[in-house]
Amino acid sequence: MLKEGEVICVTGASGAIGSWLVRLLLERGYTIHATVKDLNDDKETEHLKCLEGAETRLLLYQMELLDYDSISVAIDGCSGVFHLACPCIVDQVLDPQKQLLDPAIKGTLNVLTAAKEKGVRRVVVTSSISAITPNPNWPDDLVRDEDCWTDVDYCKQNGLWYPVSKTEAEKAAWEFAREKGLDVVVVNPGTVMGPNIPPTLNASMLMLLRLLQGCNETYKDFFMGSVHFKDVALAHIMVYENPSAAGRHLCVEAISHYSDFVAKLAELYPEYNVPRMPKDTQPGLLRTKNGAKKLMELGLEFISMEQIIKDAVESLKSKGLISC
């Protein structure tokens, strides 16, 4: 639980999940060292400065994942770290090593090394369902859970470099934790949407926008279910504050198929050109309502898919990205 005056660091604080996490942490009374890529970029900083409590309990730091000194400065004086900063490039990956792998893997190790040296008591690492799937060798009669790992060789053969980066970064984090004795817990969110705090959209919100515009991409390798921004932020806080939380934590409101999400979107918003999808877009992915049972056991009550979609669409409307 929160200790009075506790200071924590949030890397990647200006992103969609990071902004929600900072908001909820401020509401709980934490003082936050929030890292951004560029302190002079208003698109990264202004929405954070506007959050309630930011004036007195939010300090912004410019950080580069491959610059250890910038990380060390941001973490100094913190008792906990939430490591969210990571490149998210799904399309047009021209140089996987430079664009994704080095920042994800070396950046994570830089953060963990600084956390260890500064005496941080717990680090929460934001991984992804992209470190759980795709895995074509997973048994068809088993629900994918925290024991499932993305098949890196399969991804490399198919040019799926984002899952490679998330998987290798998470594995590097676990190896570091074992070798150095650092307390690390991991959250693996699914497709994250809802009210978008930053001025820019994350990859999941862009996916939703393209669906409303009629795009018929299937995302069969990247979808296990949707989850609300708020629930992902709450999941991070729960695993940080609960001493019994350990290991990986799949974070989706339910394990579902991409076609389930698209069908619900079309049902709720028939006025848009949402494409029709085959019902079984992901053979071998078993549906279940309690895929995130570890987080449910910690007390997280997930917002429904329907409400996730409604909140996300209203956010797109408020930003003028789709017609009202």
Identify whether the C-beta of residue 58 lies closer than 8 Å to the C-beta of residue 49: yes
Candidates 37, 43, 116, 166; catalytic one: 166
Identify whether the C-beta of residue 279 lies closer than 8 Å to the C-beta of residue 264: no
Give the integer Cα–Cα distance in Å for 275 and 262: 8
Instruction: Check the CA dihedral 134-137-140-144 and report its sign.
Output: negative
Identify whether the C-beta of residue 52 lies closer than 8 Å to the C-beta of residue 27: yes
DSSP, residue by residue, 23-34: HHHHHTT-EEEE
Identify whether the C-beta of residue 220 lies closer than 8 Å to the C-beta of residue 281: yes
Give the integer Cα–Cα distance in Å for 194 and 185: 24
- CA distances to 23, 132, 179, 183, 297 from 174, rounded to whole Å, are 28, 15, 9, 10, 23
Give the integer Cα–Cα distance in Å for 193 and 211: 13
**Residues contacting 232, CB < 8 A, separation 6+:** 17, 20, 21, 187, 189, 192, 251
Pairing mode, strands 191-193 and 226-228: parallel
Told to judge if 166 belongs to the known catalytic residues of this protein, a careful annotator would answer yes
What are the residue numbers of the active site?
A: 166
